[in-house]
Amino acid sequence: MKSYLVPNSAQPGYSAIMRNGTFKDGKLVHDYDGVITLYQLLQRCLRLFPDAPFIGTRKFDAVTRTFGEYEWTNTTEAGKLIDDFGSGLDIVYQKYAPKDSDSEGDQEALGIYSINRAEWMLAEAAGFRSRRYSVALYDTLGAESVEFIMNHAEVSVIVCSIDKIPKLLKLKDRMPGLKVIISMDEFAQHGKNPVSLPFTVNSVRVLHEWAESMGIVLLDVPQVLEMGAANPTLPRPPMPDDLCTICYTSGTTGEPKGVMSTHESYTYAAMVSHHSMPVDRPVYLSFLPMAHCFERIVVYVGLLGGGSVGFYSGDVLNIANDAQALRPTVLAGVPRLFNRIYDRIAAATIHAPGMRGIIARTAIKQKLERLEAGQGFKHALWDRIVCNKIRQFFGGRLELLISGSAPIDHKVLNFLRVALASTVVEGYAATECNATATMTCPDEKRAGHVGVPYLGVEVRLRDVPEMGYLATDTPCPRGELLIRAKHVFKGYYKEPEKTQAAMEGEWLITGDIGQFEEDGNLKIIDRRKNILKLAQGEYVAIEYLETVYSRCPLVQNIFVHGDSLQSKLVAVVVPDPETFLPWARKISGNSQTDVGELCGDEHVVGALLVELRKIGREAKLQGFEIICSIYCEAEPFDIEGNKLLTSTFKLKRSVAKEYYRKQIGDMYRAINSKSKQ
Ligand code: AMP
């Protein structure tokens, strides 16, 4: 058994506690030389791997308009940059942003706002040198959330790419605490990096004048490095219990919540991940946003193994080009990206015409059969003839591919396992447990579950009777998933009530419904709070959307459905006969038809969808919250007949999902085949 159920740990309403099969006693042995803060982790890299390539980037050639080979900064050079930048930051804070006596705690926040790049990582590490914690901003937050986070986290100094400077200056009036902006792009070099291309000598001058008029000190990284090199300060290393980052999650209801993580919790998460999935001197391609903790943890895991981090060149669509230049051994991504990669590889292999397609299909079929028979993902002949070529997509050296953040399609996961002839794992976690909870085993042959707890992590299930999930369910216990580990978060910043609601004693309440599978794996089968993450990573509050769409006078009942494997929403709509009949008859041109027939009339269904989408837009819903397809149902939802409602008239979502499984499947098939055309 890959996991271990702790004997006698089940309690009424709770399942037994599940641990990793090699972590039965709950003790972690290896301690990585006593490392307990991220600052110490970086110092350990300096000690053990001083000459190793640490950070790699590709320079843009403005003449050929291509990116060059990776150029590396070794660990010692990076250490010097961190020292100089850290000293420079000390001077900047002291001179331009001295700590307000009213602000919380004795640590300071350092804002970071850019795509992944070397300066992102170096800025965060330089902050750690003086106990500063990072607060990351990213574009998909939207301007309102950027403003909220900057004020909520009291960010006075921010390091950002040049393109973010106008965005920040525009908001400055509403962000009184912001004092200093440090550009990652050197002002004298503007125009050389495509990210900074719109910026000319003149626009940089305008930025300076604009910043000055707003009372903002505008510097660039080389200036701060120079300040620090000329006046080195003594490091003030963080304590294990100090904050290392506040990671804001984009909630659907209300403002973003700031997940507070300590140095110890991040380090511990990285250690248990490395323990569970040892990687030695990995070469890692970094492109998932560092603003999310998943990416940062993977980077720190790599550093524990003496690894090198190559940053992508700024365009995820160009990831294959970066991979071919870097030739990574480890890569982490999200299902949405892997779906795209699957489509590309499949088109060139199993869906290819002629002999090439026949050979690829035979190879993949045989390899999948072997995988399912527990014989692994390698095959001497097929790897040589077919899969080694596929491996070139990522440069040919890939050993480990990690998918996380949302469920990955079974077909895609197993295809990647055999086609890339690499270990492909799926991880499950949440920001609140530093992206580290469960992972499929390296030799896993089955898809559709999230594996077993990491070493150092315990999970259990709690009854959710109103949804019909019980820890006593047989053969597989089901219930809300709770997580206990040393790296579970410290709380939401300035939100004690929300923190309390997220915890049950030492256990993190995930809101996900889990099922203990008979083979010892954990499977995520539902969400408790009906806040669902779509495939592109956006959260939707389904019940809220139903309230919005129910405003349509033609609607009697509505069941909005989203699926984490899909990026679009669909719905089952029961029309209100009183309003619907006259309206729909006019559209169908037949005054005798009944509701049932009208529900099957595609013109009527199309017109109803248009009405609902109009209501969604009027309510200012986001694009991904607008439903894309509906199934029209004549029979109302009720308590006794179809049993879709509770006695208090609440929709039983899990029952409805099962009841309309076919219709939902048809809608998604139609949407997906349309989007492929
Ligand atoms: P976040 O805090 O944004 O990383 O989101 C955490 C949530 O993402 C979890 O509570 C799950 O609902 C979902 N999630 C993450 N990984 C997976 C996975 N492998 N399978 C299913 N859901 C996942």
HEC states along 93-124? HHHHCCCCCCCCCCCCEEEEECCCCHHHHHHH
Q: Other C-beta atoms within 10 Å of 122: how many?
A: 23
Mean pLDDT of 483-510: 95
Residues with CB under 6 A from ligand 1: 249, 404-407, 426, 428, 430-431, 450, 510, 512, 524, 533, 564
Rounded distance from Cα 585 to ligand 1 centre (Å): 45
Q: What interhelical angle do 75-96 and 221-230 show, nearest 10?
A: 90
pTM for the model stands at 0.83
Check pLDDT > 70 for residue 677: no
Q: How far is CA 675 from CA 534, 568, 628, 668, 671, in A?
A: 17, 11, 12, 10, 6
Rounded distance from Cα 336 to ligand 1 centre (Å): 13
| Closest ligand 1 atom number to CA of residue 511 | 10
Rounded distance from Cα 511 to ligand 1 centre (Å): 10
d(CA 559, CA 538): 19
> Could you give the dihedral angle defined by the CA atoms of residues 170, 172, 175 and 179, in that order, rounded to the nearest 10 degrees?
140
Query: What residue owns the CA closest to ligand 1's atom 6?
Result: 430
**CA geometry: angle at 603 spanning 597 and 606, to 5°?**
110
Q: Say which amino acid occupies 595.
A: V
Q: Say which amino acid occupies 504.
A: E
Task: State phi, psi for 427 to the nearest 5 degrees.
Answer: -110, 155
| Closest ligand 1 atom number to CA of residue 426 | 19
Closest CA to 402 of 465, 444, 369: 444
Rounded distance from Cα 430 to ligand 1 centre (Å): 6
State the pLDDT at residue 676.
Answer: 63
The residue that leads in pLDDT, 189 or 606, is 606
> Cis link prior to 577 (omega < 30° from 0)?
no
| Closest ligand 1 atom number to CA of residue 510 | 10
State the pLDDT at residue 306.
Answer: 96
Handedness of CA 204, 210, 213, 216 (dihedral sign): negative
d(CA 295, CA 19): 24
Rounded distance from Cα 193 to ligand 1 centre (Å): 34
Rounded distance from Cα 488 to ligand 1 centre (Å): 15
State the pLDDT at residue 620.
Answer: 84
Pocket test for ligand 1, best of 138, 428, 444 (most atoms within 8 A of CB): 428
Query: What residue owns the CA closest to ligand 1's atom 10?
Result: 430
Count the alpha carbons within 13 Å of 627 in the hemisphere toward its beta carbon.
Answer: 31
Kindly give the pairing relationship between strand 217-220 and strand 53-61. unpaired
| Cα Rg of the chain (Å, integer) | 27
State the pLDDT at residue 252.
Answer: 44
Check pLDDT > 80 for residue 640: no
State the pLDDT at residue 296.
Answer: 97
Rounded distance from Cα 428 to ligand 1 centre (Å): 6
d(CA 587, CA 576): 16
Query: What residue owns the CA closest to ligand 1's atom 1?
Result: 430
What is the helix (H) or strand (E) element at residue 592, kind and residue range? none
| Closest ligand 1 atom number to CA of residue 431 | 2
Burial of residue 238, with CB atoms counted within 10 A of its CB: 0-12 exposed, 13-18 middle, 19 or more buried: buried
| Closest ligand 1 atom number to CA of residue 435 | 4
Mean pLDDT of 521-537: 83
Closest CA to 571 of 545, 532, 534: 545
State the pLDDT at residue 531.
Answer: 74
| 261-320 pLDDT, tens digit each | 999 999 999 999 998 888 899 999 999 999 989 999 999 999 999 999 999 999 988 899
Q: How far is CA 619 from CA 318, 490, 492, 549, in A?
A: 36, 36, 29, 9
Closest CA to 608 of 590, 581, 589: 581
State the pLDDT at residue 375.
Answer: 94
Closest CA to 488 of 437, 524, 527, 544: 437
d(CA 467, CA 82): 51
Mean pLDDT of 217-234: 97
Rounded distance from Cα 417 to ligand 1 centre (Å): 21
Handedness of CA 198, 204, 210, 215 (dihedral sign): positive
The residue that leads in pLDDT, 227 or 553, is 227
Rounded distance from Cα 305 to ligand 1 centre (Å): 26
Check pLDDT > 90 for residue 8: yes
| Closest ligand 1 atom number to CA of residue 293 | 4
Please list, in sequence order, all residues whose beta carbon lies within 8 angstroms of the beta carbon of residue 450, skipping any fewer than 6 positions away.
407, 426, 427, 428, 438, 439, 440, 521, 522, 523, 524
d(CA 159, CA 668): 42
Mean pLDDT of 512-523: 95
Query: What residue owns the CA closest to ligand 1's atom 14?
Result: 406
d(CA 279, CA 264): 21
Query: What residue owns the CA closest to ligand 1's atom 12?
Result: 512
Rounded distance from Cα 351 to ligand 1 centre (Å): 31
Rounded distance from Cα 393 to ligand 1 centre (Å): 27
Query: What residue owns the CA closest to ligand 1's atom 15?
Result: 405
Rounded distance from Cα 451 to ligand 1 centre (Å): 14
Query: What residue owns the CA closest to ligand 1's atom 21?
Result: 407
Contact 220, 182 (CB under 8 A): yes
Report DSSP state, residue 516: E
| 3-state SS assignment for residue 69 | strand
| Closest ligand 1 atom number to CA of residue 537 | 3
Task: State phi, psi for 477 to the nearest 5 degrees.
Answer: -60, 140
Check pLDDT > 90 for residue 149: yes
d(CA 67, CA 549): 48
Query: What residue owns the CA closest to ligand 1's atom 5?
Result: 430
d(CA 58, CA 400): 23
Mean pLDDT of 413-417: 96
Please list, in sequence order, all residues whose beta carbon lies within 8 angstroms of the beta carbon of residue 647, skipping any fewer than 6 positions away.
639
Q: How far is CA 16 from CA 13, 22, 28, 519, in A?
A: 10, 17, 20, 15
Closest CA to 161 of 187, 135, 183: 183
> 103 pLDDT band (50/70/90 cuts)?
low
Check pLDDT > 70 for residue 253: no
Rounded distance from Cα 551 to ligand 1 centre (Å): 31
| Closest ligand 1 atom number to CA of residue 249 | 3
Pocket test for ligand 1, best of 512, 522, 532, 566 (most atoms within 8 A of CB): 512
Contact 279, 307 (CB under 8 A): yes
Q: How far is CA 493 from CA 74, 575, 645, in A?
A: 36, 44, 38
Look at 185-199, 375-389, 518-532 and tell me which has the smallest mean pLDDT: 185-199
Rounded distance from Cα 302 to ligand 1 centre (Å): 22
Q: How far from chain centre, in Å, is Cα 81?
A: 29
| 447-474 pLDDT, tens digit each | 999 999 999 999 999 998 877 789 999 9
Query: What residue owns the CA closest to ligand 1's atom 7?
Result: 430
Pocket test for ligand 1, best of 250, 488, 515, 533 (most atoms within 8 A of CB): 533
Check pLDDT > 90 for residue 16: yes
Q: Say which amino acid occupies 552.
A: C
| Closest ligand 1 atom number to CA of residue 259 | 2
Closest CA to 304 of 334, 269, 329: 269
What residue ranges in 185-231 does DSSP mark as E strands? Answer: 217-220
Task: State phi, psi for 28 to the nearest 5 degrees.
Answer: -100, 130
State the pLDDT at residue 249.
Answer: 83
d(CA 659, CA 523): 21
Closest CA to 569 of 634, 603, 616: 616
d(CA 250, CA 140): 9
Task: State phi, psi for 265 to the nearest 5 degrees.
Answer: -70, -40
d(CA 116, CA 246): 17
> 193 pLDDT band (50/70/90 cuts)?
low
Kindly give the pairing relationship between strand 330-333 and strand 308-311. unpaired
Report DSSP state, residue 386: I
pLDDT, the chain, mean: 91
The residue that leads in pLDDT, 563 or 215, is 215
Report DSSP state, residue 172: G
Check pLDDT > 90 for residue 69: yes
d(CA 625, CA 571): 11
Check pLDDT > 50 for residue 338: yes
* Bridge partners of residue 479, in order along the sequence: 514
d(CA 478, CA 620): 37
Pocket test for ligand 1, best of 288, 483, 524, 539 (most atoms within 8 A of CB): 524
